[in-house]
A = this chain, B = another copy of it.
Amino acid sequence: MIEAMLLGTGAMMPLPHRWLSSLLVRSSGQMTLFDCGEGTQIAWRSAGWGMRRLGAICLSHCHADHVAGLPGLLHALTWADRDELVTIYGPAGTLRVVEGLRVIAPMLPYPVAVRELAPGDVFALPGGLTGTVAAGHHALPVLAYRVDLPRAPRFEPERARALGVPLELWRRLQAGEMVTWARRSAQPEQVMGPPRRGVSLAYVTDTRPVPGFLPLLEEVDLLVCEGTYGDSADTEKAARNTHMTFAEAAGLAAAAKVGRLWLTHFSPGMADPGAFAANARAIFPETTVGYAGLTTDLTFPDPS
């Protein structure tokens, strides 16, 4: 299962009633944060998930409204008694930005690593998740993230029984180990069924919808996507500012055949994003206009 929670949905500047865009993802209790603008640590505290088990921070890009909260969050992890590695991922330029911001968080009781990603990179995220990125189109280098929780194939006991594997060795086979007994052996592949679909989500913000997103986002269960402008009359403005309208985000969701769409990253000029929901739902019905605290569990469809 992947748990996902929006910590905020704002763009440009934090507002008294709208935190900046940020997504928190949890798997097996371990967390990854997507973007960290000014105030994200406060939104997080309001949300109630503890901070100690944050293992990775993924930055879409290095504009202030997506990274200015980093030094404060790094201190907050100290107060939360974090003592294990935190890895910060981001596009080219991230290292220089993190180094600059750490002028006010120079010494931390846990190690911090920074890894600049290139489009197509595949990397491990906390809690058994796999990350992948594609390049977006914005004023600065920007990455769109996909996260997968793979699912092991089903163990087929009848095949293990037919091979004569002793019962006490089944667990090791299930865990992917080869087992041997009485001069015989068995491989995991011999007792496991066909590949099974896992669960997945994607986080896409501060970019135009580009063709390279289609393979990245294909059939994700949840797409968290920017919709800076609700009104389709702002389509030209969205193109000029390299953002998306609600309708463009919905079009991307439909083209990529995703399960659900959460809209985020609303322009400060848009007082009530919900008023524009129909512009997205006409194109992609399974759309939710995001808000801080919006939470879901992405579970494997068949519990067996």
User: Known: A38-B41, A104-B100. Contact between A75 and B64, CB under 8 A?
Assistant: yes
Is the Cβ of A72 less than 8 Å from the Cβ of B76? no
Stretch from A12-20, A110-118, A120-128, A192-200 at the B interface: A12-20
Is the Cβ of A63 less than 8 Å from the Cβ of B104? yes
Q: Is A105 an interface residue (CB 8 A)?
A: yes
0/1 per residue, A216-252, Cβ < 8 Å to B? 0000000000000000000000000000000000000
Is the Cβ of B68 less than 8 Å from the Cβ of A104? yes
Task: Report A135 CB to chain B, min CB distance, Å.
Answer: 21
Task: Report A60 CB to chain B, min CB distance, Å.
Answer: 14
Is the Cβ of A42 less than 8 Å from the Cβ of B64? no
0/1 per residue, A45-71, Cβ < 8 Å to B? 110000000000000001111011101
Bound Cα distance from A105 to B65, whole angstroms: 10
Q: Is A39 an interface residue (CB 8 A)?
A: yes
**Nearest residue in B to A40 (C-beta to C-beta)?**
B38
Residues of B within 8 A of A69 (CB): 38
Task: Report A142 CB to chain B, min CB distance, Å.
Answer: 15
Q: Which of A72-105 contact B (CB under 8 A)?
A: 72, 75-76, 79, 96-97, 99-105
Residues of B within 8 A of A64 (CB): 71-72, 75, 104-105
Task: Report A154 CB to chain B, min CB distance, Å.
Answer: 44
Residues of B within 8 A of A46 (CB): 16
Task: Report A168 CB to chain B, min CB distance, Å.
Answer: 51
Residues of B within 8 A of A45 (CB): 15-16
Task: Report A212 CB to chain B, min CB distance, Å.
Answer: 26
**Interface residues in chain A, defined as those with a beta carbon under 8 Å from any beta carbon in chain B:** 12-16, 37-39, 41-42, 45-46, 62-65, 67-69, 71-72, 75-76, 79, 96-97, 99-105
For the complex of A and B, the 6 pairs showing the least CB-CB separation, nearest first, are A100-B103, A64-B104, A38-B72, A16-B46, A100-B100, A14-B42
